[in-house]
A and B are shown apart, each in its own frame.
Chain A
């Protein structure tokens, strides 16, 4: 529970730094908290951080696309701040720190983890946004 609140703050704060509109701030924070919950629970169940990140990315982008439909804003506004807690910035930093320390094995591990989770997040978002785009165009076609 404590972590969920922290993840909420951890998406709400960056949302201010990224300058999103005031009325959307709270939704971005909520989306981040749900994403973090998904990440933690999958991580505890499976033990694979890349799989957990992938699941969280999928959850976050589904919520962002739905919110974007309801609140009529681009979905970027929601998923950029809410991805902030799970994005692999810190593991990229550890990679460099290990290289400086000449711990090459640890550096390789962290580096691969960074690339893997970045790829997983990107692929998760792409998957969901493609599906939603297909649904949108399909709706327009069937109407017209």
Chain B
């Protein structure tokens, strides 16, 4: 197989990993492993925003091929990480021709997701659990679950419509704040704080902050900065959204 073909497979696997929210070192590992399986030397540099790889055949160091891939959207999809992991490990045992490998990778990219209804249910039970964990009652949990169904729905729709993630997070947290405060106006016994915290639990980027620091501990300073800044911006939009809703309701009623 040609160097260019090997590199394009390696970069495509890296792209799937990175858009599925993988750690940087895993992406670099996978690219090295795939190139190594086909007997090609390579050097890779991966950031959350893009992949830079250059590779050359062992007997011909003067002719190297470079590929750059820009990554724009990142979500968390652990199933894809698992599939790519087994794919690259299988390659180490038996190499397969270019078109077969490409077919497998395209199949992984379109791997099944849980159905929308199931994810909505998951979002709602998550919010219910966290609202009760934050000293809420069961009724608070129900309210949080309803709000979280609504905001998960909005979030997914806005993601499809290609809105900026900051804008959609702002709208969702604003809606969460607005609904829970107005619910608190009608029913006195509600613990508004527990409802808000429970329902925005599916929005807050706690994992992104932690992953950012983990990248720094692995020595990937650039990606750590990128992830932490992204997480800080998201958490700021969420805080501003809820804060605006709280202020608004204070003056209105």
Contact = CB atoms under 8 A, between A and B. Distances in A.
Contact of A9 (B128, B205, B209, B211): B128
User: Looking at chain B, what size class is its interface with the partner chain?
Assistant: 35 or more
B104 interface: no
Contacts of A15: 78
B134 to A, nearest CB: 8
Given A3-B133, A118-B210, A90 B79 contact: no
Contacts of B200: 93
Contacts of B190: none
Nearest to B126: A13
A125 interface: yes
Given A74-B82, A93-B235, A96-B240, A17 B209 contact: no
A112 interface: no
A83 B206 CA distance: 9
B190 to A, nearest CB: 18
B113 interface: yes
Q: Taking chain B's interface residues, is the majority helix, strand, or loop, or is none over half, making it mixed?
A: helix
A88 B129 contact: no
Contact of B243 (A2, A92, A101): A101
A14 B126 CA distance: 7
B217 A88 contact: no
Nearest to B235: A92
Q: Taking chain A's interface residues, is the majority helix, strand, or loop, or is none over half, making it mixed?
A: helix
A123 interface: yes
A61 B253 CA distance: 48
B179 interface: no
Given A13-B126, A18-B77, A122-B213, A92 B119 contact: no
Interface residues of A, number: 45
B22 interface: yes
Interface of A: 2-3, 6-7, 9-10, 12-21, 73-74, 76-77, 80-81, 83-85, 87-90, 92-93, 95-97, 99-101, 114, 118-119, 121-123, 125-126
A10 B191 CA distance: 19
Nearest to A36: B133
Contacts of B218: 126
Contacts of A18: 76-78
A19 B132 contact: no
A83 to B, nearest CB: 7
A6 B133 contact: yes
Contact of A126 (B22, B205, B206, B217): B217
A110 to B, nearest CB: 11
